[in-house]
Amino acid sequence: MVRTNDLSIVFFGVGSIGQRHIQNLKSLGVGKVYVYDPNPDLVDEVSKKHEVVPVNKDDVWSNKYDVAFITNPNSLHLDTALEAAKHGCHLFIEKPLATSMEGLEELIGLVREKNLITIVGCNMRFHPGPKKVKQLLEEQTIGRILSGHVELGSFLPSWRPWQDYKQSYSARKDLGGGCVLDCIHEIDLACWYFGIPEDVKSYTFNTGFIGIECEDTSDILMKFKEGFSCFVHIDYIQQTNERKCRIVGEKGTIWWDINKQEVTLYIAEDKTYVTYSHPVNYDINQMYIDEVRHFLDCVSKKEQTGNNIYNAEEILSVAFKVKEDSSLI
């Protein structure tokens, strides 16, 4: 069994999410962390701040790593993961897995051939709200599912106030931006709750409101073989942050609202409500810590994670159906 402090880890990309993972790894006792980023000033700043080892493009593979964290822009995920897999690294790939289905077959083949442990970073699976929703569904508390609704509304210009949002990877086609892939969490949650849909329809478009070149809104209808549908809404344009879901079943209804910090269960038989509150003073960073801990535990046990590359490839294919069946700008 591999001990956490014996692991050698390399990061490709040290922006905000990369630095979050570095800090969390340090808190979990990981000692050997190397970082690469094409921005040398950023690498210098991060290496001093987090006491990690900088490497440059020419000598990055002169070291042997156990794990690679792929936290660079979306458009670089696949090529970077392919290179790391060829060097035998277990893979933590930030969402989305890729910005094209092309090349994924090669990556999946390498992962299978080399028995690599993988995870795609869909951190909302580790948040207490969606986790409780998933538990209630698995316990069949509301019986047969009749309909679902999953929603995210947020305002891209306020995400990273330290930079011009129009130049961020979220807003740029060439870097794999757009709300469908960048906010794939809601598509992922719908598939986590209900499985892979048998049909997908969408209206995905650019309102023009925030002046970016990618889609900023997507309304998606997923149809499942069990005979129900789930509506998924994602946007970059809502100036009040909303993240919620509603699932209706024969025996009741489940709601989750991140702003209310609770999951509510309605039991139709006796017309009662049960509320499951998030932990008091819940720190949103805890879901990232739990996600990384799950990955490291799986690496240690040589077991695949709950959101491995095989699962993520299926969910990515759903996202591309959304983009294909749309009114995209």
CB atoms within 10 A of CB 48: 10
pLDDT band at 31 (very low <50, low <70, confident <90, very high): confident
pLDDT value of position 153: 97
CATH 3.40.50.170 fits 124-280+312-324, yes or no: no
- The dihedral over CA atoms of 131, 134, 135, 139, expressed in degrees to the nearest 10, equals 180
CA distances, 68 to each of 74, 87, 155, 193 (Å): 15, 10, 31, 28
Whether 327 shows a pLDDT value over 60: the answer reads: no
Which residues are CB-contacts of 310 (< 8 A; sequence separation ≥ 6)? 108, 304
Question: Residue 250 above 50 pLDDT?
Answer: yes
Residue 1 has pLDDT above 60, yes or no: no
pLDDT at 3: 62
CATH architecture of 4-123+290-308: 3-Layer(aba) Sandwich (3.40)
> pLDDT-based confidence at 85, cuts 50/70/90?
very high
Over the Cα atoms of the chain, what is R_g? 20
Q: For position 2, what pLDDT does the model report?
A: 52
Task: Give the three-class secondary structure for 180.
Answer: helix
Both ends of the chain: CA-CA distance in Å? Answer: 51
Place of tokens 């130049």: 167
Task: Answer for the pair 192, 205: CB distance below 8 angstroms, yes or no.
Answer: no
pLDDT of 324 = 86
Q: What is the pTM of this model?
A: 0.95
Q: pLDDT tens, 208-248?
A: 999 999 999 999 999 999 999 999 999 999 999 999 999 99
Q: What is the mean pLDDT of residues 146-158?
A: 97
Q: Is 320 helix (H, G, I), strand (E, B) or coil?
A: helix
User: Which residues, in sequence order, are bridge partners of residue 136?
Assistant: none
Give ranges for CATH 3.30.360.10 in the chain: 124-280+312-324
Nearest to 240 by CA among 151, 155, 149, 150: 155
CA distance 181 to 220: 13
pLDDT bin (cut points 50, 70, 90) of residue 162 is: confident
Average pLDDT over residues 123-127: 98
> Could you tell me what percent of the chain has a pLDDT over 90?
92
The pair of structure tokens assigned to 11 is: 């990061």
Percent of the chain with pLDDT over 70: 97
pLDDT of 253-266, one tens digit each?
A: 999 999 999 999 99
pLDDT bracket for residue 290 (50, 70, 90) = very high
Locate CATH 3.40.50.720 in the chain.
4-123+290-308
